[in-house]
Amino acid sequence: MFIDGLDMLGSTLRHKQQIESFARNWHGAHPWLKDVAAVTRDRLNRTANARI
């Protein structure tokens, strides 16, 4: 689906500054949630490697 000649990704990127501002504010208010996926992945990898 195209709107104004842009696909969904292109349309989303038109709002990049607002998205980045939201992310900064969100992580400022909820610092424990920043990089949760990366921290969890690293912890799981360390656990898996310790079992080998």
Q: What is the DSSP letter of 1?
A: -
Does residue 1 contact residue 7 with C-beta atoms inside 8 Å?
yes
Predicted local confidence at residue 4, as pLDDT: 81
Residue that the structure tokens 């038109």 belong to: 14
pLDDT tens for the chain, residues 1 to 52: 787 888 998 999 999 999 999 999 999 999 988 889 999 999 999 988 887 6
The pair of structure tokens assigned to 9 is 């990704």
- Residue in 40, 30, 45, 20 with CA at minimum distance from that of residue 12: 20
